[in-house]
Structure 1
Amino acid sequence: MSTTSAHDPGGAPIAGAPTALTAREPHVPAERLVAELVPPPRFGGVRFDTYIPDPGQPSQAAAVKGLAEFASGLGDAAGAGNARRGLWPRRSRRPQPPEPRGVYLDGGFGVGKTHLLASLWHAAPAPAELKAFGTFVELTNLVGALGFQQTVRTLAGHRLLCIDEFELDDPGDTVLVSSLLGRLVTEGVALAATSNTLPGRLGEGRFAAADFLREIQGLAAHFRTLRVDGEDYRHRGLPEPPAPRTDEEVTRAARSRPGASLDDFTALLDHLARIHPSRYGALCDGVTAVCLTGVTPVPDQTTALRLVVLADRLYDREIPVVASGVPFDRLFSPEMLAGGYRKKYFRAVSRLTALTRDALPGA
C-alpha cells in the first residue's frame, strides 16, 4: 500500500502534524484481500465462552449451542470437496433428506452475531488457511478483484466460509453471491452467515423483481437459521452517547495523539467517493484515532452507504473516533432510517457511537 502524507510547501513532512485520511490514496493488491479473510482485530480473541448470553433472551444461549455443534461437525470432515461424507455423515442406513450446508444467524444489530460468527471460525477444527471470514462487501470486492472463476477456485479448497452482514444491496449482487455460494456448496464448503434479515426475506424494501426474489429463495435453502434476539449490547445499560466535541477539542486531540488522523467531515465524504470501498480498511492502516470536525447529516444515500462501510472498517479495527458537529444519531435522515437500508444505517450509528466511547478521556 502506498499513501501520501502531509508536507510543507518545500516537500518535507510536517513534524507532529496529524495525518489526514483525505491525503491517503491506498492501493491494495488482490493477494492482500485474500490474506485478510480472517476475523478482524476486534474479534481476534473472541470465543464461544466469551459470549455472555442475556438470561432474558434464551435464543442467545441456543445459538451458542447450535454453533458449537456445527463446529464439531466440521471436525469430521475428511477434507473440503467431500460434501456427502464427513461434514454431515449419515446416522443410519435410512435415506435422509439433504441437510443444509450452512448456518445463518438472524437478529438485529448489536446482539453479538459477529462475535458468534468469529467464535465459530476460531472453533472450527481446521487450519486457518482452510477457513475464510469476511463481510459481504469484502466478498463481493474479492470477486471484483479476482474474477468469479478465480474466486471459486480460491475458496473451493476451504472447509468453512463465514460471511458477516449478509446484505443484498442490488440485483447484481444477488445473482453474483447466489451463484458463488451455489458453486462452493457443490465443492463441500460449509457456510455460515449473519444478517439482520431472514434468508428468505433478503432484499425486502430494496427491490421487488420476481426474478431476484427467486434467487433469494434459492440462497435460503443453503442455510439452517438460528435466531438471536436481544437489545443492542453496545448501548445496553450504558449512558447516553457522548456529546460532540468542539472543533478546537477535536484538533487538540488529533495533535496530542501519535498516529491520529484529522479531517473535515465533508471533505472526507468527498474523498471516499474517489476510493473503492475495498480499500477503506487500508485507508485506516496505522491510524490510532479518527478525528473529524464539522460532522453534518449525510446528504444522499450513495454517500451514506460509503460511510457505513467506513464505520464497519473502523469498528473492526477498534479505532476510536473524536468528532465535532451533529451527534451521530443525526447522521441519517428520517427517510433513510425508514427505507430499505435502515438496518445498515442503524448499525453504523451504533458502531460510531461505540467508537466515540472508546476515545480516551480528554482525547
Structure 2
Amino acid sequence: MDFQPGPSPATGLAAGPLPAYRARVTAGQLKPDPAQELAAETLQDLWRRLRGYDPSTEAPDQGGFLSRFFRRKPVPEAPEGTPQGLYLVGEVGRGKSMLMDLFFACAEVPRKQRIHFHQFMQDCHQRIHRWKQANPGEADPIPPLADSIFAQAALLCFDEFQVHDITDAMILGRLFEALFARGVVVVATSNTAPDDLFKGRPGRDAFLPFIALIKQRLNVLHLEAERDYRRERIRGLPTWHCPVDGRAERALDSAFLELTGQAQGAPCRLTVLGRNVEVTETARGVARMDFDALCGRALGPADYLALATHFHTLVLDGVPRLGPENFDRARRFVTLVDALYEHRCKLVVSAEAPPDSLYESGQNAAMFERTASRLMEMQSQDYLVLPHLT
C-alpha cells in the first residue's frame, strides 16, 4: 500500500475547510449550497480536534492495546482522546469528495492518507497474501496489517466507501477494529448509509457488527444537497470523438480532467473471481483504459460487470473499426457495452467511426445493430443524467 504523507496546508487552507469552502463560494468557483455549508462546518469541527494529532506508534507496556492484540484479543475501544471520525453519505454528485478533499488538504496531521476505498481494500488483500507467504503457519495477518497502516497514517480519508465483495466483508470488521484501537481516525464518503451496506448479500448477518462499529466510531452526516454536480459536469459534454487522432485524444484528456479534477489518475486493480484486472487510470469513480487493454485480451462478462459497478464513467481510447477480421474483440466490446448500459455507466470514447458505422458489413454485422443503438442512446442527455447503478 503506497502511503505518502499528505500535503501541508496550502495558502488559503490553513484556517480550515470551512473558510476554504466559503472562499471558493465567494470567488464563484462553487455555488452556495446550505447542505455543503453544514458539512463544511462539521468538517471544520473535526479539523480543530485533529490539529497536531499524532498518536504514538510505539507498543505500550504489558496490558496496552498492542500487546492485547498480539495475544489475539480484539479491543474495540479507541485510545482515550481519539476524535470521532465522520461518515459523509449522500447521493452521487453532491460534492462529498470535494468537501473531503478540502478537509484533507487542510488537516494538520503528520501521517495522513486519502485513498479510494476499493483501492485500499485491494492493497490490503495484497498485503495479507504477501504476509501469509512470508509467515507460513501464522494464523492472523490482521494485527501486523493494522500496525503497518497505522505506522503510516493516523488519519485515513476514504472516497466512495462501498462493500460489494464478500472477501472484503470478511476482513473489514477485524481490520477496522484494530485500526480504531490504535487511534486511527477515519473520514469516509459514501453513496450508501451504514445500515444499508452489504444489504441483501449472503452472509450479511456476520457483517452487522462492522456496521455497528462504524456507527460507534464515526459520526454519520447525510449530505442533502439539492444539485447533482456530477451530472451537471457530464451534461452537455461530448462523449463520442472520431476519428482516433490527436484531437480526439486531447478531448478525452479534457473530459477526464473535467470529470475528476485531475489531469491523470492512478492505476487500480480489480479482483474478479480470483483474478486481477488492471485498470490503467482511475480517479473519483472514473476509469480510463485503452480499447486493446479491455477488448484485446481474454476478459469476460464478470470482468466488465466489475468495471461497470465500480466506476460511474469509463473513458475509452481507440475503438477501431470492427468486423469479421477482429470478431473476438468485437464480441468483447458488445459484452462491455451491455454491462455499462445495464448499470447506467457513462462512456466517453475515441473511435474510428460513429457507432452505426463501426461494424458495417460482413458476418455478425446484424449482431452489432443493438450495440450501435445502445451506444447512440448512451450519448443522449436522458441517459447521461441517469443515476449509476452499482
**Shorter-chain TM-score: what band?**
0.5 to 0.7
Whether the 8 Å CA contact 1:156–1:189 is kept in 2: the answer is: yes
Structure 1 distance, partners of 2:87, 2:249, is 44
Check if 1:109 corresponds to 2:92. yes
1:58 to 2:34 alignment: yes
Distance 1:119 1:151, change over 3 A: farther
Distance apart, 1:192 and its partner CA: 0.7
Question: Is the deviation greater in 203-212 or in 220-229?
Answer: 203-212
Between the aligned partners of 1:144 and 1:104, the Cα distance in structure 2 is: 23
Q: Structure 1 or 2: larger strand share?
A: 2
In 1: Cα distance, 2:54 partner to 2:240 partner = 54
Mapping 1:213-252, distance limit 5 Å: 213-230=208-225, 231-236=227-232, 239-246=235-242, 249-251=243-245
Q: What does 1:112-151 align with in structure 2 at a 5 Å threshold?
A: 112-127=95-110, 130-147=111-128, 148-151=142-145
Query: Is the 1:47–1:119 Cα contact (8 Å) retained in structure 2?
Result: yes
Once residues 238 and 136 of structure 1 are traced to their aligned partners in structure 2, the CA distance between those partners, rounded to angstroms, is: 23
Aligned counterpart, 1:300? 301
**What is the CA distance between 1:276 and its match in structure 2?**
2.8
Q: Give the counterpart letter for 2:307 in structure 1.
A: R
| Distance in 2 of aligned mates of 1:244 and 1:112 | 26
Q: Deviations over 1:269-326 (max 9, x none)?
A: xx9979735x535799xxxx86659x99x973542213555778x8xxxxx7657699
Q: Which residue of 1 aligns with 2:279?
A: 280
Q: Is the 8 A contact 2:17 2:43 kept in 1?
A: no
- Equivalent residue in structure 1 for 2:148, among 148, 151, 154: 154
The CA deviation string for residues 139-161 of structure 1, in whole angstroms up to 9 with x for no partner, is 11221222244321122233211
Give the 3-state SS of the residue equivalent to 2:113 in structure 1: strand
What secondary structure, in the 3-state scheme, does the structure 2 residue paired with 1:121 have?
helix
AA partner of residue 3 (structure 2): V
* Counterparts of 1:283 and 1:67, CA distance in 2: 26
Query: Judging changes above 3 Å, is the alpha-carbon distance between structure 1 residues 291 and 187 closer, same or farther for their aligned structure 2 residues?
Result: closer
1:306 maps to amino acid: L
Q: Are the counterparts in 1 of residues 52 and 109 from structure 2 also a CA contact under 8 Å?
A: no
Taking a change above 3 Å as real, the CA distance of residues 229 and 146 of structure 1, as seen in their structure-2 partners, is same
Separation in structure 1 between the aligned mates of residue 179 and residue 160 of structure 2, nearest angstrom: 19
State yes or no: 1:171 paired with 2:166: yes
Deviations 1:80-115 (A, max 9, x none): 469555444xxxxxxxxxxxx310010111112112
TM-score by length of 1: 0.58
The unaligned stretches of length 5 or more in structure 2 are 8-12, 58-64, 66-77, 129-141, 255-269, 321-332, 351-378, 380-390
Secondary structure in 2 aligned to 1:234?
Answer: helix
Structure 1 unaligned spans of 5+: 1-29, 40-44, 89-100, 261-270, 315-319, 338-345, 358-363
Work out whether residues 107 and 227 of structure 1, in 8 Å CA contact, stay in contact via their aligned partners in 2: yes
Superposed CA offset, 1:334-361 (max 9, x none)? 7x43xxxxxxxx5x52xx5599x9xxxx
**1:171/1:116 CA distance change after superposition, 3 Å:** same
- Letter aligned with residue 236 of structure 1: E
> 1:240 deviation in Å?
3.0
Q: Is the 8 A contact 2:308 2:340 kept in 1?
A: no
2:317 and 2:88 map into 1 onto residues whose CA distance is 32
Q: Secondary structure at the match of 2:220?
A: strand
Quick check: 2:154–2:185 contact (8 Å CA) kept in 1?
A: yes
Identify which of 212, 225, 235 aligns with 2:207.
Answer: 212
Q: Deviations over 1:146-186 (max 9, x none)?
A: 22443211222332111111111123211312211111111
Partner of 1:194: 189
Q: Distance in 2 between matches of 1:47 and 1:240?
A: 31
Aligned residue for 2:240, secondary structure, equals coil
Give percent identity, aligned residues only: 21
2:319, 2:349 within 8 Å by CA — same for their partners in 1? no
Structure 2 Cα separation of the partners of residues 354 and 124 of structure 1: 37
Q: 1:254 to 1:78 in 2, by over 3 A?
A: closer
Q: Per-residue deviation at 1:122? A: 1.6
CA, structure 1 residues 143+85, in 2 after alignment: closer, same or farther (shift >3 Å)? same
Task: State the distance in 1 between where 2:169 and 2:241 align.
Answer: 41
State the one-letter code of the partner of 2:90. G
Correspondence 1:73 to 2:49? yes
- The structure showing larger relative contact order (alpha-carbon pairs under 8 Å, at least 6 residues apart) is 1
Q: 1:323 to 1:112 in 2, by over 3 A?
A: farther
TM-score (norm 2): 0.54
Distance in 1, Cα, partners of 2:282 & 2:229: 28
* Bigger CA radius of gyration: 2
